[in-house]
Chains A and B, each alone.
Chain A
């Protein structure tokens, strides 16, 4: 064997490695993935999601890695998760099942007028839709981008998968990133739209809610949603089913599984699958970058919508509500409710807004799902 033949052989081996096919785009995507991993580990920003998403972005952006493609006609590892979990829209619904099993609707049942705050906080969804169309997106894409402001990850994924699956990675990432940044994004808007007197408004303690009310709530909600926005019942039906399991108290084992094991499994599959959709070739274009900009605008307007709705309602109700709870009308449960509590206490140490803010917070989940249902009914 000659030296040249040995060199050729070594060159052949080199070509089978990923090193030869590396490009600056891969390296840039590693950077993005690592930023998410950093935010999750160091800053504790939604670590349950940002960590798997970050790793998904990182690991899929190596040349030749058999993760998101097909080899010999068979889907590769993460492609299997993605196909059965996201393309079949199973994972968002299972996450809602788990969320339902963890949710206490008591504050919403005790003060049902806060449901309207959840509707007002969807303002950004519709305004961003218009802006997104103006930016050159199709109507279906615009709907999927608009829903980001609802600050509800599973709903964003569900709607995007239904209407614009090619934007799934960017939309999910924008939604979860901004949800993680709720404590940074919302306070300036809350201060801008409220006066110090309004921030000090104390709300009457919520009445206790009976077990029977809590059991009937998911049934009533399912009836209303199934009749008015049937297209979103896979999400909301599972949400309410999870809640019924919890409130009934008779299926402890199932509730415990939905809250923990099942929720954890689907979160892992969701995170890594969403991250893995962000291959350099697909992500590094003007659309995903614009989605991040529009998503931020969306969050601003949704927060404003919630606060303004409370202020408008205050003109008509006897017992004034603290407008700071309006910002919790974007979903982001329970982080945005905690932000309301924190800002409220900056102006009155003894003012506890957390439970009051949970009402609009949960209403926001239903409102975002309703908005998503409207879009699905129109475009699918």
Chain B
């Protein structure tokens, strides 16, 4: 009976926690921080929090919180991590939810910074060069193959 009660209380607490995502939640740089976690590390630039929950549960919480944020946020999955990136002028840039080797969810909230924007821009600009460079190489290789294959074999003249 006691075990069953414990289970009911735990499930009720979990449902309450997930069902009322924003209520009473703390925040870091304006980004919501799910309650019930322990701070792993904190600096001006970054907050890392661990939760004794599966990463999927924590991701569900953030999906609910940001459900109405619309197109200003991009939520995507990358190699087992969930990335929530902000493209508005919010003070935070991204929230990354991942699973630690021990199976607990780790949430990292990172401050927005010009370093990120500028680095991203430089890479994207170089990316345009890469695209056109690859096209240049592909074109050059194709042209070379074409000319080589269309050249008459040596000594075939006059035959």
Residues of A within 8 A of B (CB): 109, 112-113, 115-116, 118-120, 122-123, 125-126, 129-130, 133, 136, 138-140, 210, 212-213, 216-217, 220-221, 223-225, 228-229, 363, 366-367, 370-371, 374-375, 378-380
Contact = CB atoms under 8 A, between A and B. Distances in A.
A150 to B, nearest CB: 10
A138 B117 CA distance: 12
Given A122-B125, A138-B72, A217 B139 contact: yes
A79 to B, nearest CB: 21
Contacts of B15: none
B87 A139 contact: yes
- Secondary structure of the B contact surface, majority rule: helix
Interface of B: 71-72, 74, 87-89, 117-118, 120-122, 124-125, 127-136, 138-140, 142-143, 146
A23 to B, nearest CB: 32
Contacts of A223: 138
B134 A213 contact: no
Contacts of A221: 135
Q: Could you say which of B74, B124, B127, B128 has the most chain A C-beta atoms within 10 Å of its C-beta?
A: B128
A133 B121 CA distance: 12
Nearest to A133: B117
A109 B71 CA distance: 40
Q: Could you say which of B71, B121, B132, B134 has the most chain A C-beta atoms within 10 Å of its C-beta?
A: B132
Contacts of B138: 220, 223-224
A378 B132 contact: no
Nearest to A368: B128
Contacts of B118: 130
Contact of A119 (B71, B117, B132): B132
